[in-house]
């Protein structure tokens, strides 16, 4: 996505991002096997720089302070030669990564807080547009300010994922890293030896498992037979994984007789199949499968700022208590900036409610960084 | 007391190290195969190969272990002489299925848990680095960790092998005997294939060469559609690719392929021979089915090629830009010069 940004805003964000990295360098944790990772950056002009390598945290920090990128990424993969082109890097394994994002949750509240913004002149619309009505530019950004309901749903989905990972995949707590992405989602990273070497095809199967895709009646021992059906309960029974979840939801005691009665009642094999599909897509985790399948991804680094929001990607030690708009916001509340906002807005930051109308307002730095990163406001006046 | 594999086991699993040791220690020389006492072994090896290559059947005969070990050795040498890659592939597959059947029945029948575990450890763990355990608390199911399962199962295209259709718990996949053994078919196949390919023999005994030549002459030249594949629709091409790699095709794909080839005017023989490489090829059954589709059996109606929309639903469509505007694979390429 092209992401031009006006100079005043850019200068403002650069100054503050730099200040953040000065004060909070401690938040940037070196990834495991740092010298074997690929690093990537995005500049405030929207350029992506990839295939870099830093053997020590110190040199990465120096690079960040010097260049002040808008976003910082680190590969989930481990390479022999991280700076080489993809096919020559010498892949040695990769963490399993999961992305739970508002985009995949399809919540009804989205309409109330989603904005369409012209990438050229920052005109904002609450309704979907594919072309700017002012400058006719067709690159339109879509931004959202997650509401309380959004955050609650994201957390619920994240917990669902964690439960699957622990119960079905045997992932140990200590090998799980859960974090807020800094914008509209949560990330889960699994760093456990026995999953490191899975190829892309296998990871896609894992993603399908989590999402509840392709579960068949045959897996329950129910077979299509000349328009009717036959039942032969599998030796491995219904006491594990998906079969257990589905059978519990259908409230069927495990026996051929009960299963038979149930299938007969709902109308045979095809209805049984539909019922399974329906329940599976309800219980399944709404992850972005492309992220999980990618074994060469550069993934946002914990402790770095998300250029789309100015919030930091933060580890959640206690998911229930975690409040993104407070715990991931590291900018000051006691200094003010004048900003002009492009549309009336209502939101919370650091426990305070803001209601802004369409004019110039004086707001704390924390609010200004957030709204400017979201492209919903412009700097009117700021002296550091 | 330590427990070891008996000679009867070696007869069924002649690729195990002990079998090789036995042959080596029997101090016999390749030239001995020219002696008349060995003729019946060579004939037996011929039969084993003909079963696979010509009749499409698995040779399930089991003799005393020394006869088995030498028969196995001779059939490998004969295949080396026959040389043709597609024949070696096919033979390797049928050998893999033979092993598969013995293994399934041994694992089901063996009462002695230590013996059973030994077999598992020798074949699964040592030969194929697949860590399998028998879970006596869970219905005697086999368990293996999820990544070991995925490494193998993602080679299969059938939906039943998707992880979601398996019993998964706490990092493990639970399988019954058949499924566990099926999972390593490809590895047994590769083992056989490599054994033949890597065999280094300077002089093949005359008697073996003679019998191998007899078989070679009986092999029908396999019809290859590799030349003009650009004219074939992507769905058909994909199915042929699978067959060439000796991978299993779902029934829906076989139906599509057979009806399509018949619609091109190919003969029953030609169509049957297309399926020769399928891991479970059985000439009689395949012939019956193809004749049925051609309207020569049963209802006497000729089956038509399924429509693209149906193939899309069955996950068989691999449409490219050239598929634009067609509703049935038979229309593919018609509008081009
Ligand atoms: S569009 Fe039709 S012809 Fe083309 S690949 Fe799909 S099924 Fe085959
Ligand atoms: Zn505009
Ligand atoms: Zn919301």
Show which of A265, A283, A301 is a domain's final residue. Answer: A283
Same domain, B29 and B143: no
The domain that contains A63 carries what CATH number? Answer: 3.90.920.10
Same domain, B256 and B270: yes
Residue A328 lies in a domain: yes
Note if A318 is an active site residue.
no
Residue B337 lies in a domain: no
Give rounded-to-5 percent helix, strand, coil for chain B.
Answer: 60, 5, 35
Interface contact flag, B171 A194, Cβ < 8 Å = yes
- Sheet containing strand A48-52, strands side by side: A48-52, A39-42, A71-75, A298-300
Q: Please give the tally of structural domains in chain A.
A: 2
Residue A115 lies in a domain: no
Cα-to-centroid distance, B316 and ligand 1 (Å)? 8
In whole angstroms, give the CA distance from residue A34 to residue A28.
Answer: 12
Residue A60 lies in a domain: yes
Atom 2, ligand 1: residue with shortest CA distance: B308
Cα-to-centroid distance, B291 and ligand 3 (Å)? 61
Same domain, B94 and B167: no
Same domain, B111 and B147: no
Same domain, B67 and B204: yes
Q: What is the pLDDT along chain A (384 residues), one digit of tens a residue?
A: 334 568 899 999 999 999 999 999 888 988 999 999 999 999 999 899 999 999 999 999 999 999 999 999 999 999 999 999 988 999 999 999 999 999 999 899 999 999 999 988 888 999 999 999 999 999 999 999 999 999 999 999 999 999 999 999 999 999 999 999 999 999 999 999 999 999 999 999 999 999 999 999 999 999 988 778 999 988 888 989 999 999 999 998 888 889 999 999 999 999 999 999 999 999 999 999 999 999 999 999 999 999 999 999 999 999 999 999 999 999 988 889 999 998 999 999 999 999 998 778 899 999 999 999 999 999 987 665
Same domain, B179 and B325: no
Same domain, A367 and A301: yes
Cα-to-centroid distance, A35 and ligand 2 (Å)? 43
Nearest to A170 by CA among B157, B169, B329, B76: B169
Q: Which residue of A has its CA nearest to B167?
A: A240
Q: What token pair was written down for A58? A: 């110190």
The reply to whether B162 touches chain A by the CB within 8 Å rule is yes
Residues with CB under 6 A from ligand 1: B 233-235, 308, 311, 317-319, 323, 326, 329, 332
Residue A198 lies in a domain: yes
ipTM of the prediction: 0.92
Mutate which of B231, B309, B312, B317 to test ligand 1's pocket (most atoms within 8 Å of Cβ)? Answer: B317
Residue A139 lies in a domain: no
Same domain, A222 and A269: yes
B positions 274-313 inside 8 Å of A (CB) = none
The residue from A99, A199, A225, A357 that is catalytic is A99
Interface contact flag, B154 A169, Cβ < 8 Å = no
Same domain, A234 and A377: no
Residues 6+ apart with CB under 8 A from A372: A9, A12, A13, A310, A339, A378, A379
Same domain, A368 and A222: no
Could you give the C-alpha distances from B51 to A257, B74, B95, B281, B284, in angstroms and in order? Answer: 44, 15, 11, 11, 13
Q: Which residue of A has its CA nearest to B158?
A: A214
Show which of A233, A254, A283 is a domain's final residue. Answer: A283
Q: What is the pTM of this model?
A: 0.80
Residue A126 lies in a domain: no
Same domain, A196 and A316: yes
Find tokens 């199911």 and name the residue: B141
Q: Which of A197, A216, A236 sits opposite B159 (nearest CB)?
A: A216
Same domain, B118 and B206: yes
- Full domain range(s) for residue B140: 131-183
Show which of A283, A313, A337 is a domain's final residue. Answer: A283
Q: Please give the tally of structural domains in chain B.
A: 3
- Full domain range(s) for residue A353: 7-105+145-208+288-381
Ligand 1 nearest-atom number relative to CA B236: 8
Residue B223 lies in a domain: no
Interface contact flag, B164 A215, Cβ < 8 Å = yes
Same domain, B153 and B285: no
Residue B224 lies in a domain: no
Same domain, A303 and A260: no
Same domain, A329 and A359: yes
Residue A76 lies in a domain: yes
Residue B22 lies in a domain: yes
Same domain, A235 and A361: no
Asked whether B38 and B49 are in contact (CB, 8 A), the reply is no
Residue A131 lies in a domain: no
In whole angstroms, give the CA distance from residue B291 to residue A208.
Answer: 39
Asked whether A3 and A119 are in contact (CB, 8 A), the reply is yes
Same domain, B211 and B295: no
Residue B143 lies in a domain: yes
């Amino acid at each position: 996505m092209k992401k031009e940004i006006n100079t005043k805003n850019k200068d403002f964000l650069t100054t503050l991002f730099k200040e953040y990295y000065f004060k909070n360098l401690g938040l940037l944790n070196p990834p495991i096997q740092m010298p074997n990772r690929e690093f990537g950056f995005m500049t405030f002009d929207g350029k992506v720089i990839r295939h870099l390598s830093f053997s020590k945290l110190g040199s990465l920090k120096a690079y960040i302070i010097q260049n002040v990128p808008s976003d910082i990424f680190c590969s989930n993969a481990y390479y022999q030669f991280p700076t080489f082109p993809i096919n020559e890097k010498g892949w040695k394994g990769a963490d399993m990564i999961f992305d739970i994002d508002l985009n995949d949750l399809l919540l009804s509240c989205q309409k109330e807080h989603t904005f369409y913004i012209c990438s050229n002149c920052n005109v904002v619309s609450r309704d979907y547009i594919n072309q700017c009505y002012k400058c006719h530019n067709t690159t339109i950004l879509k931004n959202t300010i997650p509401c309380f309901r959004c955050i609650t749903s994201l957390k619920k989905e994240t917990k669902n994922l964690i439960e699957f990972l622990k119960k079905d995949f045997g992932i140990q707590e200590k090998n799980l890293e859960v974090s807020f992405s800094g914008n509209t989602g949560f990330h889960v990273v699994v760093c456990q030896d026995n999953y490191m070497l899975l190829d892309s095809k296998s990871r896609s199967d894992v993603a399908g498992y989590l999402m509840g895709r392709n579960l068949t009646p045959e897996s329950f021992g129910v077979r299509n037979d000349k328009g009717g059906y036959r039942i032969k309960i599998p030796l491995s029974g219904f006491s594990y994984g998906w079969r257990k979840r589905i059978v519990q939801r259908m409230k069927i005691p495990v026996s051929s007789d009960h299963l038979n009665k149930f299938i007969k009642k709902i109308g045979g094999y095809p209805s049984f199949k539909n019922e399974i599909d329906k329940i599976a897509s309800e219980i399944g985790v709404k992850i972005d499968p492309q992220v999980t399948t990618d074994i060469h991804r550069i993934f946002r680094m914990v402790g770095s700022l998300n250029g789309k929001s100015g919030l930091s990607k933060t580890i959640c030690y206690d998911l229930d208590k975690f409040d993104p708009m407070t715990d991931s916001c590291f900018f000051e509340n006691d200094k003010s900036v004048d900003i002009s906002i492009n549309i009336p807005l209502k939101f919370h930051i650091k426990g305070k409610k803001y209601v802004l109308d369409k004019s110039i307002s004086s707001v704390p730095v924390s609010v200004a960084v957030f709204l400017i990163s979201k492209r919903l406001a412009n700097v009117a006046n700021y002296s550091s | 007391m330590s427990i070891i594999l008996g000679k009867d086991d070696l007869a069924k699993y002649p690729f195990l190290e002990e079998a090789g040791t036995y042959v080596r220690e029997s101090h016999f020389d390749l030239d001995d195969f020219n002696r008349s006492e060995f003729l019946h072994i060579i004939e037996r090896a011929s039969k084993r190969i003909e079963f696979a290559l010509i009749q499409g059947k698995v040779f399930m005969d089991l003799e005393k272990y020394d006869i088995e070990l030498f028969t196995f050795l001779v059939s490998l040498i004969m295949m080396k002489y026959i040389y043709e890659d597609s024949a070696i592939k096919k033979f390797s597959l049928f050998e893999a299925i033979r092993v598969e059947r013995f293994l399934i029945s041994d694992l089901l029948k063996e009462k002695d848990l230590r013996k059973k575990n030994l077999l598992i450890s020798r074949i699964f763990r040592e030969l194929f680095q697949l860590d399998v355990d028998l879970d006596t608390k869970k219905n005697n199911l086999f368990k293996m960790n999820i990544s070991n399962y995925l490494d193998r199962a993602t080679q299969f295209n059938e939906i039943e092998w998707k992880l979601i259709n398996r019993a998964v718990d706490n990092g493990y996949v639970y399988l019954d005997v058949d499924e566990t053994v099926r999972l390593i078919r490809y590895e047994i196949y590769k083992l056989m294939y490599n054994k033949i390919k890597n065999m280094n023999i300077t002089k093949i005994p005359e008697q073996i060469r003679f019998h191998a030549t007899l078989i070679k002459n009986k092999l029908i030249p396999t019809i290859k559609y590799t030349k003009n594949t650009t004219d074939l629709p992507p769905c058909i091409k994909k199915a042929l690719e699978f067959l060439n790699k000796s991978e299993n095709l779902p029934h829906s794909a076989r139906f599509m392929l057979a009806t399509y080839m018949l619609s091109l005017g190919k003969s029953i023989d030609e169509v049957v021979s297309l399926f020769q490489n399928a891991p479970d090829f059985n000439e009689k059954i395949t012939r019956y089915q193809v004749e049925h589709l051609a309207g020569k059996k049963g209802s006497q109606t000729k089956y038509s090629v399924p429509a693209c929309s149906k193939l899309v639903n069955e996950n068989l469509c691999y449409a490219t830009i050239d598929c634009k505007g067609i509703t049935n694979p038979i229309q593919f390429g018609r509008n081009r010069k």
